[in-house]
Each structure stands twice: as C-alpha cells, then as structure tokens.
C-alpha cells in the first residue's frame, strides 16, 4: 500500500522543526545563564522544545495519507510526546553545564537519539495497523544514525552558541537552527520511508477527525507556544542584562566612593579615616611581632602666607609637589596622609633602631626643602612620636606628634623634634576657649541659627537645621567650627548640645503657641552623645518639658561616628525610631562610607556632603555620576536625600535631574536667626524668594538685613 504526502503540511512540519530548534538554542543559553530560576527554565524549556519536536513529528505523520481511514491512539501518542520532552530535558541539562566533553556529547546524543527515535516509532505504533507495519532494517538503521548525528551536532552547536547574544550570534543561531530542523525532519522522513504498509492493512485507531485540520491546529498552537517561550526568554534576558548593568555601575560607584572616602582629592594621599585604619594595622603588627612604628607630623612653614600672596593655585601645586617628594622618600609599606591644609602625617613601620625616626625625619625635611617652584623654597616643621612610648592609640600618637611639631615651630621652624612628655600641656589658646566656653553656656552667650531646607523641585520650605553660634561679648559672633572641636575634646560638648536641644525645643514651642505651622528642625549630635545610653530618655524628657511631639525633631549624626560602633548605634537609633524621632546621616561620603552599614542603620535621611555638591559643576563627569548613584542608592534604601551646600543654580539643575529630595545651601538661604526663620515660616507661599547673596558681603551678621527685607 503506497502513502502520499500533503506537501503543505510537510512544509509546516519543517517550519515547526526549525523554530523548535531555534527556541532550543535560545533556551540552552537561558538555562546556562540564569542562576535563580534555572530549574524553571529547564522544565519550561524541555516542555516547549519537546512539544516542538513532537509536533513536528506529529504534523508530518498527519501529512502522510494512506488510502484508508487513519487515526492515532491517544495514550500511545501521549507516550511519544513524553519521550520527546524527556529527550529535550536531557539535552538542555547537558548544554547548560560549564563544560561539555566529547564523551558527554556522545552519551547525550545516544540518549537524545533514543528519545527521538522512541518518540517516532512509538508515534507510528499509535496507528495500531493490522497487520503490523513492516520496517526496512537498512532505512531504520539510517534513521537511527541520522538521529544520533543530528543530536550530537545539536548538542555541540547549542553549547557553542548558548551565550551568543549579539546580532551575529543571532544570525548564527538561525543558521544552526535551520540545519538542525532539517536534520530532525530528515530523520522523520527516513523513518517513514522505512515503513512498509502491507496491502489490505487497516488502521486500528481510525477516527473521523480530519487530519489536515488536526495538523493545522497542532502546528499553529505549537508555533504559538514556541513563539511565546522565545519572547519570554528574550524578555527575561533583557531584564537580567539590565540588572547586571545596574549592579555593575553601582559597584563601580561604590569602589570610587570608597577610594574618595579614604583619600585626599588634591594629593591622592590617604585621609584621616585611612590614616586611623593604617595606624590600627601597625598596632596589630606590634602585638604580633613587636615591630616599632612612628607617627610623624609634618607642617609646612609659612604656607598660609604663600596661599594668601600667590593664590590657591600656586599653593595647591606646592602641596602636590610636597606630597610627591615625601611619597618618594618613605617605603611603600609606610603611609602618608594629608590632614587638611598644609599638614601631613606619616606612619613609618618596622623601625630598626633608636635613631631610625630622626633619620626618616631628616630625609623628609631634605625632600621638602628640595621643592623649589616659582622662586619659592618650601620648608617644614616636623614632630615625631613612637609607639608604645609616646601614646597608646592612634589619637594619642597623632596628638603627641602634633605637639612635638608645634615645639619644632616654636624652636625656629625648618627642623625636627621628637615628643617629650613635658610638651603635653594644653595649648594656651585652647585652654582659654575652654574656660570661656564653659562660662558662655552658663551665661547664655550661645545662640541658635536656623538654616532652611527646601524641596528641590518647587522649593517649598520643608525644615531647618539648627546651627549653634557663640555671641562673644568682645569677639563678636564666633562660628561653631572654632569651638565645637574644643568642646568635643574637653567634654563640654555634652552641656553645649543639651543647651542647643533645650533652646530648639523652647523655640518650636513658642512658634507653635504663636499659631505657626512649624516644620521639623534638625539638630546635630556629636559622637560622644550618641554613645550615651541615656540619651533617648534625656531627649524624651526635653520633648515632654515643652509638650512637643517627637516628629518636630530630626537628629543629624555623622557617618564616621555612626560607624564607630555600629551595633550600639543601631540600638540607640532603633529606640529613637520607636519614639518617633527621625535621623539623618550627615556629611555622607566623607567618612568611612560603607554601603552595607548604611543598609543596617535605621535612618530616614541622608545628607550628601557639600564637597560632592561643589564638585558637581567643576569636577569631572564621574563626580556627577557618583552623586547620581548615591541618590539612587539612598532611594533604593527608602531614604530621603538632602543635598548640602547648594550654592548655584547649576548645582540645583543637576540635583533636580537626579531626583534629589531636599536642598540646603547659600543659594536658598544662609543660616538665619530665629526671628528671620519665623518670618520665612509665616511667609505667604513659603516658596524661596531670596536672591543669592554675594559671598563677599556675608559676615555672619551682615546677611540678616537681606533676608528680612
Ligand atoms: P554641618 O552639620 O555640616 O552644617 C552645615 C554647615 O554648612 C553650616 O556651617 C552651614 O552654615 C554651612 N553651609 C550651609 N550652606 C552652605 C553653602 O551653601 N556653602 C557652604 N560653603 N557652607 C554652607 P556652620 O554653621 O559653620 O557649622 C559648621 C559645623 O559645626 C556643622 O557642620 C556641624 O558639624 C557643627 N555644628 C553646628 N552646630 C552644632 C551643634 O549644635 N552640635 C554639634 N555637635 N555640632 C554643631
Ligand atoms: Ca549637620
Ligand atoms: Ca553636613
């Protein structure tokens, strides 16, 4: 009995085979690339690919017509489909392995060929022909060889092309899919050619279903299934690529941020944070093998005069030169840090004898005096301290070296002194400030200024930062940078901050009583205070005294102090959160920034340090990228972002583009006395009406007039 083919269906079967092959190649890449949903992709992929191969076969069967009624047993047909899915699962699993040895290809191809041939001949059996089909052994053998060859080639090609995502890769995949599809179809039609149907055969599974209709239904639904699978795969790939890109750019920004947070931008030397870390490492080394180390303080002589007379550019160049020659003088394992201005600290490790330190100091001095640019000859005063004789930890050693440096200055500059215990008397000026400040707190000589914070877009007033000043009876208004440092060193900071908090709470109460709509006020907290376990109770008591809800207060803490003892900080902050007091991380980017800590701290705001904002306009392109990354990251962590020190409209434009939430800076308003801030609260639209003031006319008192006018 001779059969005939419906060539339209034959064509459909080949199309299905090629698309099934293309989908398989694509899925092979997916299963190999994904880490999390790999088993889902494997199962779904095997389902789609197996169904594709099977339906190619089934459509081809339906294309074949005998001059008798024909049909297929449902259960046997289902079994043949399962075999195709199973063979596909093996194939996908194999090509997703990290490597594919020849032996693997060989056994994999045997399994796949067995699956495909099993599918084919089981599918034929589903016709239940009576008498049975007679097979030509040579052609059956040929179909087995073709199935094996096609499978081996498919495995090899799929493995090679699985990561090809470029356009060229796609073209190569299409070519490979065409070859594979034709090979699979070839196997099928060879198998069909092997079948002889004896005259007078009847089909035991004959039904009335129109085979052409059934074939079209199966062919089209399979094409839909394969198409959907492909689209899902492509979309998933896109998503994964985007995620990978984001992770990549974040980690780059993070690395850059880390470098910037540990180095001085001008000289690229270590900064304070890194210096402390390195001294910590030297201490560890001493514990291990008693290797002595020294901390050396270097201060350039007469540098302020150079800066004032010749300008910052010349000054900066000299600083860079000094940094370079010092770096060339010490060993690679030693550390040089810039402490700001014209002060440097060198950590010299593995000292090999009592006069090793003075040798290094002489060499440093010689190197610095070798810098002669534009007719200027540098010199320096140097002080040194040695561990463990002169101090127990980083701060003590640095202070000791600093005192020795001061002694060298007093002794006529351009020289070196090593630390002596007798040097350790408080510098007279510092002592005077201490005594006077103590009295100032008692006599209410301190006042709080308020610097408004605005929304970045509409510039609506959203809050204020309370900044303390000292109204000195003779010396006028003294900015906090001149006395906070001293207050921190002598412990007066506790009294000072209690005074500020009390004053801010009283002020808010007064404004509320006057019927004003008061926004939250931020208050700075120093390191000493945040370590105080009773702080939350003190703050609650203060709020209660003035009958204030906690939402009127925000505390600003600096990154370095929050990171100092992370677990203690987390506990304290958590208690404040329960009370309803919010926290902002101040000066972000300048300390030991660690993004992982940031995730753990229960904060609500992040304040980007003003140096980053200043760099937005004149720094390199990458600085803007960093600010953008910080903002994106903070938002991802659910934090509001405040930009500090905004001085120009250009900076505002950047910040708006980067979706920064709040801004604070001279462009919008300087810190102002309480009455002036009250006028801003009560002001008509609360929008920002103040034109920027020229820097030259600032003088802390001079700007009042401009704001109240
Ligand atoms: P901070 O917390 O970073 O405060 C912001 C400082 O930046 C303020 O200086 C403010 O006047 C200044 N600033 C604001 N906008 C701009 C701008 O556009 N450009 C520039 N160049 N600067 C701007 P201020 O008031 O002199 O305070 C200096 C530091 O003193 C504060 O830095 C803070 O660390 C500390 N401080 C002030 N009050 C307190 C306090 O009550 N407690 C503690 N612990 N520290 C305080
Ligand atoms: Ca602050
Ligand atoms: Ca700040």
Average the pLDDT over 112-132 and give the result.
Answer: 87
Per-residue CA distances from 511 to 330, 335, 445, 524, 604 (Å): 59, 52, 22, 21, 25
**Ligand 1, atom 35, residue with closest C-alpha:** 480
On whether the CB atoms of residues 20 and 53 are closer than 8 A, the answer is yes
Quote the percentage of the chain above a pLDDT of 90.
37
On whether the CB atoms of residues 347 and 320 are closer than 8 A, the answer is no
Per-residue CA distances from 183 to 179, 190, 312, 450 (Å): 6, 10, 76, 80
Q: Nearest ligand to the C-alpha of residue 590?
A: 3
Question: Which tokens is 14 given?
Answer: 């080949």
How many CB atoms are closer than 10 A to CB 643? 29
| CB 481 near ligand 1, within 6 Å | yes
| Strand (E) or helix (H) holding 299 | strand 293-300
Q: What is the pLDDT of residues 634-660, one digit of tens each?
A: 998 899 999 999 999 999 999 999 999
φ/ψ (deg, to 5) at 209: -60, 140
699 pLDDT band (50/70/90 cuts)?
Answer: very low
Total number of residues shown for the chain: 709
How far does residue 246's CA lie from ligand 2's centre (Å)? 31
> Helix, strand, or coil here: 531?
coil
Quote the percentage of the chain above a pLDDT of 70.
92
> Helix, strand, or coil here: 5?
strand
| CB 484 near ligand 1, within 6 Å | yes
697 pLDDT band (50/70/90 cuts)?
Answer: very low
Q: 3-state secondary structure string, 112-138?
A: HHHHHHHHHHHHHHCCCEECCCEECHH
Higher confidence at residue 577 or residue 694? 577
Q: Give the atom of ligand 1 at the shortest distance from the alpha carbon of 607.
A: 3
Q: Nearest ligand to the C-alpha of residue 613?
A: 1
The DSSP secondary-structure symbol of 457 reads T
| CB 369 near ligand 1, within 6 Å | no
Does the pLDDT value for residue 705 go beyond 60? no
> Helix, strand, or coil here: 245?
helix
Q: What is the pLDDT of residues 168-211, one digit of tens each?
A: 778 877 887 887 788 788 888 888 888 888 888 888 888 766 67
**Ligand 1, atom 16, residue with closest C-alpha:** 645
Q: Nearest ligand to the C-alpha of residue 664?
A: 1
Q: Nearest ligand to the C-alpha of residue 556?
A: 2
d(CA 327, CA 320): 11
Q: What is the pLDDT of residues 307-353, one digit of tens each?
A: 777 888 888 999 999 999 999 999 999 999 999 889 999 999 998 87
Within 8 A by CB and 6+ apart from 549, the residues are 543, 580
Largest interatomic CA distance in the chain = 125
- First-last CA distance in the chain: 108
By most ligand atoms within 8 Å of CB, the mutation choice from 484, 612, 664, 701 for ligand 1 is 484
Question: Which tokens is 319 given?
Answer: 């600083």
pLDDT value of position 701: 33
How far does residue 129's CA lie from ligand 1's centre (Å)? 93
Cα 700 off chain centre by = 39
Q: What's the chain's average pLDDT?
A: 85
On whether the CB atoms of residues 355 and 416 are closer than 8 A, the answer is no
pLDDT value of position 690: 42
| CB 448 near ligand 1, within 6 Å | no
Closest CA to 639 of 608, 678, 614: 608
Q: Give the atom of ligand 1 at the shortest distance from the alpha carbon of 467.
A: 38
d(CA 471, CA 428): 21
Contacts of 43-49 with CB under 8 Å at 24 or more apart are: 43/89, 44/229, 45/88, 45/92, 45/229, 46/85, 46/86, 46/88, 46/89, 46/92, 47/85, 47/88, 48/20, 48/23, 48/225, 48/226, 48/229, 49/20, 49/23, 49/24, 49/85, 49/88, 49/91, 49/92
d(CA 422, CA 434): 21
| CB 666 near ligand 1, within 6 Å | yes
How many CB atoms are closer than 10 A to CB 252? 14
| CB 81 near ligand 1, within 6 Å | no
Higher confidence at residue 415 or residue 163? 415
| CB 500 near ligand 1, within 6 Å | yes
**Ligand 1, atom 46, residue with closest C-alpha:** 524
d(CA 462, CA 285): 50
Helix and strand counts by DSSP (H, E) for the chain: 25, 23
**Ligand 1, atom 10, residue with closest C-alpha:** 671
Average the pLDDT over 291-315 and give the result.
Answer: 86
| CB 529 near ligand 1, within 6 Å | no
**Ligand 1, atom 8, residue with closest C-alpha:** 467
d(CA 582, CA 576): 7
| Per-residue buried b or exposed e for 65-80, using 16+ beta carbons within 10 Å of the residue's own CB | ebeeebbbbeebbebb
Does the pLDDT value for residue 692 go beyond 60? no
How many CB atoms are closer than 10 A to CB 54? 28
Within 8 A by CB and 6+ apart from 498, the residues are 538
Q: Give the atom of ligand 1 at the shortest distance from the alpha carbon of 556.
A: 2
Q: Give the atom of ligand 1 at the shortest distance from the alpha carbon of 500.
A: 41
Per-residue CA distances from 453 to 29, 368, 503, 690 (Å): 52, 45, 19, 13
Q: What angle do CA 217, 221, 225 make, to 5 degrees?
A: 170
Does the pLDDT value for residue 691 go beyond 50? no
d(CA 259, CA 626): 12
| CB 559 near ligand 1, within 6 Å | no
d(CA 96, CA 99): 8
Least confident of 26-35, 76-85, 256-265, 317-326: 26-35
698 pLDDT band (50/70/90 cuts)?
Answer: very low
pLDDT value of position 654: 95
How far does residue 467's CA lie from ligand 3's centre (Å)? 11
Does the pLDDT value for residue 706 go beyond 60? no
464 pLDDT band (50/70/90 cuts)?
Answer: very high
Does the pLDDT value for residue 425 go beyond 70? no
30 pLDDT band (50/70/90 cuts)?
Answer: confident
Contacts of 507-514 with CB under 8 Å at 24 or more apart are: 507/448, 507/674, 508/546, 508/548, 508/552, 509/546, 509/547, 509/548, 511/678, 511/681, 512/548, 514/678
Does the pLDDT value for residue 611 go beyond 80? yes
Average the pLDDT over 44-62 and give the result.
Answer: 86
64 pLDDT band (50/70/90 cuts)?
Answer: confident
How far does residue 643's CA lie from ligand 1's centre (Å)? 13
Does the pLDDT value for residue 426 go beyond 90? no
> Helix, strand, or coil here: 641?
strand
597 pLDDT band (50/70/90 cuts)?
Answer: low
Indicate the pTM of the whole model. Answer: 0.49
| CB 587 near ligand 1, within 6 Å | yes
């Amino acid at each position: 009995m001779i059969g005939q083919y419906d060539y339209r269906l034959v064509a459909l079967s080949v199309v299905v085979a090629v698309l099934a092959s293309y989908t398989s190649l694509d899925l092979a890449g997916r299963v190999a690339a994904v880490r999390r949903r790999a088993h889902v992709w494997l199962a779904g992929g095997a389902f789609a690919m197996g169904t594709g191969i099977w339906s190619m076969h089934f459509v081809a069967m339906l294309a074949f017509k005998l001059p008798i009624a024909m049909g297929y047993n449902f259960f046997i047909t289902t079994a043949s489909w399962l075999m195709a899915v199973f063979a596909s699962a093996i194939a996908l699993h194999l090509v997703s392995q990290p490597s594919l040895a020849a032996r693997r290809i060989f056994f994999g191809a045997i399994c796949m060929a067995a699956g495909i041939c099993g599918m084919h001949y089981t599918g034929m059996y589903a016709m239940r022909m009576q008498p049975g089909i007679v097979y030509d052994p040579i052609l059956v053998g040929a179909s087995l060889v073709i199935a094996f060859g096609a499978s081996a080639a498919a495995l090899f090609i799929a493995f090679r092309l699985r990561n090809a995502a470029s356009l060229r890769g796609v073209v190569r995949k299409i070519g490979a899919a065409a070859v594979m599809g034709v090979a699979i179809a070839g196997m099928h039609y060879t198998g069909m050619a092997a079948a002889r149907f004896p005259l007078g055969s009847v089909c035991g599974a004959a039904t009335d279903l129109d085979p052409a209709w059934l074939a079209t239904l199966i062919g089209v639904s399979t094409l839909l299934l394969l198409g959907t699978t492909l689209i899902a795969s492509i979309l998933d790939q896109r998503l994964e690529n985007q995620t990978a890109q984001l992770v990549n750019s974040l980690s780059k920004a993070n690395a850059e941020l880390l470098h910037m947070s540990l180095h001085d931008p001008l000289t690229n030397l270590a900064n304070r944070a890194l210096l402390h870390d390195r001294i910590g490492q030297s201490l560890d080394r001493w514990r291990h093998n008693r290797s002595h180390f020294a901390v050396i303080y270097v201060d350039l002589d007469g540098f302020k005069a150079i800066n004032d007379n010749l300008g910052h550019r010349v000054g900066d160049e000299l600083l860079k030169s000094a940094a370079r020659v010092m770096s060339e003088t010490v060993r690679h394992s030693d550390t040089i840090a810039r402490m700001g201005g014209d002060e440097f600290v060198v950590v010299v490790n593995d000292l090999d004898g009592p006069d090793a330190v003075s040798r290094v100091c002489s060499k440093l001095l010689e190197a610095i005096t070798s810098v002669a640019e534009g007719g200027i000859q540098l010199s320096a005063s140097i002080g040194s301290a040695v561990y463990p004789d002169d101090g127990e930890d980083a701060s003590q050693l640095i202070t000791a070296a600093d005192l020795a440096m001061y002694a060298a200055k007093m002794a006529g500059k351009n020289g070196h002194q090593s630390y002596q215990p007798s040097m350790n008397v408080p510098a007279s000026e510092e002592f005077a400030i201490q005594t006077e400040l103590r009295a100032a707190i008692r006599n209410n000589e301190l006042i709080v200024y308020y610097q408004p914070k605005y929304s970045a877009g509409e510039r609506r007033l959203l809050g204020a930062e309370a900044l303390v000043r000292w109204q000195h009876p003779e010396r006028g208004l003294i900015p906090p940078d001149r006395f906070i440092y001293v207050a921190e060193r002598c412990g007066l900071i506790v009294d000072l901050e209690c005074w500020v908090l009390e004053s801010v709470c009283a002020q808010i109460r007064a404004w509320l009583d006057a019927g004003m709509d008061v926004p939250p006020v931020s208050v700075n907290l120093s390191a000493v205070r945040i370590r105080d376990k009773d702080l939350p109770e003190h703050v609650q008591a203060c709020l209660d005294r003035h009958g204030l809800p906690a939402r009127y207060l925000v505390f600003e803490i600096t990154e370095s102090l929050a990171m100092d003892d992370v677990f203690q900080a987390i506990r304290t902050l958590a208690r404040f959160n329960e009370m309803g007091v919010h926290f902002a991380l101040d000066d972000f980017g300048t300390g030991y920034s660690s993004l992982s800590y940031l995730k753990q701290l229960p904060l609500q705001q992040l304040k980007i340090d003003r140096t980053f904002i200043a760099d937005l306009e004149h720094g390199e392109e990458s600085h803007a990228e960093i600010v953008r990354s910080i903002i994106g990251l903070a938002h991802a962590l659910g934090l509001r972002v405040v930009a500090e020190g905004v001085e120009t409209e250009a900076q505002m434009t950047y910040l708006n583009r980067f979706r920064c939430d709040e801004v604070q800076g001279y462009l919008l308003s300087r810190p102002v006395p309480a009455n002036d801030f009250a006028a801003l609260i009560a002001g008509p639209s609360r929008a920002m009406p103040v034109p920027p003031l020229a820097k030259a006319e600032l003088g802390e008192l001079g700007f009042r007039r401009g704001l109240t006018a």
